[in-house]
Amino acid sequence: MERPRHQGMAKNTYMRWRLPLVCLLLEVAMIVLFGVFVRFGPEADAHWEEEKKEMNVSSDIENDFYFRYPSFQDVHVMIFVGFGFLMMFLKRYGFGAVGFNFLLAAFGIQWALLMQGWFHSFKTGKILIGVENLINADFCVGSVCVAFGAILGKTSPIQLLVMTLFQVTLFAVNEYILLNLLHVKDAGGSMTIHTFGAYFGLTVTHILYRPNLEQSKDKQGSVYHSDLFAMIGTLYLWMYWPSFNSAISEHGDAQHRAAINTYCSLAACVLTTMAFSSMLQKKGKLDMVHIQNATLAGGVAVGTSAEMMLTPYGSLIVGFICGIVSTVGYVYLTPVLESRLHIQDTCGIHNLHGMPGLIGGIVGAITAAAATEDVYGKEGFIKAFDFTGSYKTRTPSVQGGFQAAGIVVSLVMAFAGGALVGGILKLPIWGDPADETCFEDDIYWEVPEDEESDVYHMHSPGDKPASP
């Protein structure tokens, strides 16, 4: 299958020693750090039997496991199947989409358990983990999956591991600033996951700009079956998003409410996506790219506010707007970003995570600022925004201001971090593909012989490869 090529710049994509070395080094580091730092939290430790009595817990069902494990599994599916399959739309990059996503996420969750653990679960020298930590680790990796969408098909697996290492670190710092220093609410991660992840990824892809990428333009599209595989990813993201936005909310009404709001927002989003997909195409036909992506924008955009008293109709309005914004973005904005700003965004994450993430941050700030004791109840109000301790006197409008500040901080972290990491990834040592071999599994994967030849025969019958 090695065809002679006109390569302006011959790239060395040979992974044999580099990739194993990086993987093994990272994993050994994980083991050492876990050995030093990570232990079971009280609800997962065998001492729980005694702890229960001390904490006056009457039943095992009060273990946080039963509050959160079903949501955790849904989130887990979103990260590995949702993102992995959504990115499978490219005709010859299915292995890379699902396989590299698998690799970076498997590494990322380990590193996130450590980074987030140091910031949030560090007690007497140890990180004590439970099911909520697993969810948060998955969330953190979600932001890496988002960024992966911008550079899909143009990077080596080593670059992805390096990016994951840095992005998880920056994510944890940003999250700490927002949740702990600014005391911002962001249970579904409109700011910490989507805004940060998207603008980080867009900055990285801008720095890695490839002026001659049109050389692999023929492989940037989808084929019929790849679009169907991608719909598996879309639907699992869409269906489980209520679990995503409610997974780490407070027990009880907050989790319940977050799921309902997200359900409503996503439903509305589908209708406006379909409407604008048809409206913006000359022949009025629906475009799979929009259905696969813009239908999810409603979930992103209630990520901050879903656990608040956004109300079902408020959620519908947010979903309504985001379906439109996202679809319009795919049609008009993505081409401009590439031609004017040199941002080559393979999956259009700016439309699915960037703009809806920003909207989500703003909606969250407004919803928080508009909160009243009347709407939440006296106790519910305090619980919803955690107005306790040193935040006892914070008012809703002040909270709204801090929420807005959270958006700005996330953007600054994304741009600065993305520039730094983009610069590192530009070093010519990571084995990234040449422009004409982007979006091509053949570079990093053993691809079954015969079907590959089919594809070449089939897709360009008049354009036979030199050496068949």
Residue 403 makes contact with a copy of itself by CB under 8 A:
no
Per CB under 8 A, contacts with a copy of itself among 72-91 are: 73-74, 76-77, 80-81, 84-85, 88, 91
Residues 6+ apart with CB under 8 A from 249: 187, 255, 257, 258, 306, 307
Q: Which is nearer to a copy of itself, 20 or 423 (CB)?
A: 20
Residue 19 makes contact with a copy of itself by CB under 8 A:
yes
Per CB under 8 A, contacts with a copy of itself among 39-78 are: 39-40, 43-50, 52, 59-67, 69-71, 73-74, 76-77
DSSP state of 125: T
Residue type, 214: E
Of the residues 119, 415, 445, 456, which one makes contact with a copy of itself according to CB under 8 A? 445
Size of the site for a copy of itself (CB under 8 A): 148
Helices 196-207/396-425 angle, 10° precision = 30
Q: Which is nearer to a copy of itself, 197 or 319 (CB)?
A: 319
CB of 25 to a copy of itself, least distance (A): 9
Residue 331 makes contact with a copy of itself by CB under 8 A:
no
Residue 352 makes contact with a copy of itself by CB under 8 A:
no
Q: Which is nearer to a copy of itself, 180 or 454 (CB)?
A: 454
What is the distance between the alpha carbons of residues 333 and 235, in angstroms, rounded to a whole number? 25
Residue 313 makes contact with a copy of itself by CB under 8 A:
yes
Per CB under 8 A, contacts with a copy of itself among 233-292 are: 235-236, 238-240, 242-243, 251-257, 259-260, 263-264, 266-272, 274-276, 278-279, 281-288, 291
Per CB under 8 A, contacts with a copy of itself among 190-209 are: none
Q: Name the residue among 351, 400, 158, 139 with its Cα closest to residue 246.
A: 139
Cα 123 to its chain centre, rounded Å, is 29
Q: Token digits for 148? A: 């992966």
Given its phi and psi angles, is residue 124 left (phi above 0), alpha (psi -120 to 50 degrees) or beta? left
What sign has the CA pseudo-torsion 418, 152, 72, 32?
negative
What sign has the CA pseudo-torsion 74, 76, 78, 80?
negative
Q: Which is nearer to a copy of itself, 335 or 423 (CB)?
A: 335
CB of 203 to a copy of itself, least distance (A): 27
Q: Which is nearer to a copy of itself, 402 or 444 (CB)?
A: 444
CB of 279 to a copy of itself, least distance (A): 4
Q: Which is nearer to a copy of itself, 143 or 205 (CB)?
A: 143
Interaction pattern, residues 123-162, with a copy of itself; x per rule: CB under 8 A:
------xxx--x----------------------x-----
| Contact assessment for residue 347 and residue 300, using Cβ atoms and an 8 Å cutoff | no
| Contact assessment for residue 92 and residue 442, using Cβ atoms and an 8 Å cutoff | yes
Residue 419 makes contact with a copy of itself by CB under 8 A:
no
Residues 6+ apart with CB under 8 A from 216: 153, 435, 436, 437, 438, 439, 440
Q: Which is nearer to a copy of itself, 286 or 341 (CB)?
A: 286
Residue 229 makes contact with a copy of itself by CB under 8 A:
yes
Cα 369 to its chain centre, rounded Å, is 27
Q: Token digits for 377? A: 């109840």
What is the distance between the alpha carbons of residues 365 and 382, in angstroms, rounded to a whole number? 17
Kind plus residue range of the DSSP H or E element containing 322: helix 312-328
Residue type, 342: H
What is the distance between the alpha carbons of residues 137 and 116, in angstroms, rounded to a whole number? 8
Q: Which is nearer to a copy of itself, 409 or 438 (CB)?
A: 438
CB of 165 to a copy of itself, least distance (A): 12
Query: What pairing do the DSSP bridges indicate for beta strands 126-129 and 122-123?
Result: antiparallel
Residues 6+ apart with CB under 8 A from 228: none
Of the residues 11, 210, 383, 426, which one makes contact with a copy of itself according to CB under 8 A? 383
Residue 463 makes contact with a copy of itself by CB under 8 A:
no
Binding span for a copy of itself by CB under 8 A among 178-186, 358-366, 381-389, 417-425:
381-389
CB of 66 to a copy of itself, least distance (A): 7
